[in-house]
Amino acid sequence: MNPYPGPYYGYPPYAPPPPQHPQATTAMALGITALVGTFMCPLIVVLGPFAWVMGKRAMDEIDEAAGALGGRGSAQAGYICGIIATVLLSLGVAAFLSIVIGVAITA
């Protein structure tokens, strides 16, 4: 006897995946751009904090939606890439300031 009556002939009905959070892909794109751009054009690394904030906000909203929104992986990728890019940005600023202070002291 078939436990799943209907046109599926033994397979349970398929539920479509939930829609993506609108900012999940944006956070991921900003995070990846900030990381890759760090080595090509150092000014692009300023996108890192934006990816960090957008990724965290999107992850929180996806978790609160209880399955109604998808895209947590993309939001998490943007969040992590944003953290890494922000750390690289702060290290770059610290290096720049130490060079400027070193030159000012020796001059």
Does residue 5 register a pLDDT over 70? no
CA 39 to chain centre: 19
Q: Compute φ and ψ for 20, nearest 5 degrees.
A: -70, 145
Give the model confidence (pLDDT) of 39-87 as tens digits: 888 889 899 999 999 999 999 999 999 889 999 999 999 999 999 999 9
pLDDT classification of 11: cutoffs 50, 70, 90: low
From residue 69, give the alpha-carbon distance in Å to each of 8, 21, 27, 96: 26, 6, 15, 42
Distance CA 23, CA 2 (A): 43
Q: Does 104 score more than 60 pLDDT?
A: yes
The helix/strand/coil state of 1 is coil
Which tens digit of pLDDT belongs to each residue from 13-45? Answer: 777 888 999 999 999 999 999 999 888 888 898
Domain positions in the chain are: 24-106
